[in-house]
Amino acid sequence: MSGPASNSSDRLNLVLAEPEIAANTGAIGRTCVAVGATLWLVRPLGFHLDDRYVRRAGLDYWEHLDLRVVDALDEVAEALGRDRLWWFSTKGPQNYTEAAFRPGDGLVFGPESRGLPPRILAEAGNRALRIPMRPEARSLNLANAAAVGLYEAVRQIGAGNSAAGDGLPS
């Protein structure tokens, strides 16, 4: 299942590994449409894509979403390049603002209840990123974390790019 055709070499990519909550995925899809990013969903999903909560959160934006659904993170890594993936986790060693995002990069988020596995984070090294927060907060809502990461990437890529006009990748 996919939406409008895109050139994955210049679009940002937001990857949800085994998302569990339909409303989060719907909201993230809406954010992806807003910035022109491709949304990748890695099975298993904790809901059906025709779930009313996905539709409700995504509103009428869902039809404009460039959506890819795959069976494994390896498929995303093969399509985008492993060195183009940034792994978001509360356990990441590097602040997300220290990453140097480029067009075509993928921002990967794990399931809401458990995040990305320690093995993946260990392999990611300095490509494992965290969003700073107070110790009283265990984590951010997935839709909020995805928006924070995605808009930082958009800010970096659009900075100084007068051809982009609005600063968003096309």
Domain boundaries, the chain: 13-161
For the beta carbon of residue 131, count every other beta carbon within 10 angstroms: 18
Per CATH, which fold does 13-161 belong to?
Alpha/beta knot (3.40.1280)
The string of pLDDT tens digits covering residues 14-46 is 999 999 999 899 999 999 999 999 999 999 999
The string of pLDDT tens digits covering residues 120-166 is 999 999 999 999 999 999 999 999 999 999 999 999 998 544 333 45
CA atoms lying within 13 Å on the CB side of residue 27: 13
Give the model's pLDDT for residue 68.
Answer: 97
Strands (E) located in the chain: 13-17, 38-42, 66-70, 85-88, 94-95, 106-109, 128-130
The string of pLDDT tens digits covering residues 51-92 is 676 766 666 788 899 999 999 999 999 999 999 999 999 999
**CA distances for 125 relative to 28, 30, 130, angstroms:** 26, 30, 12
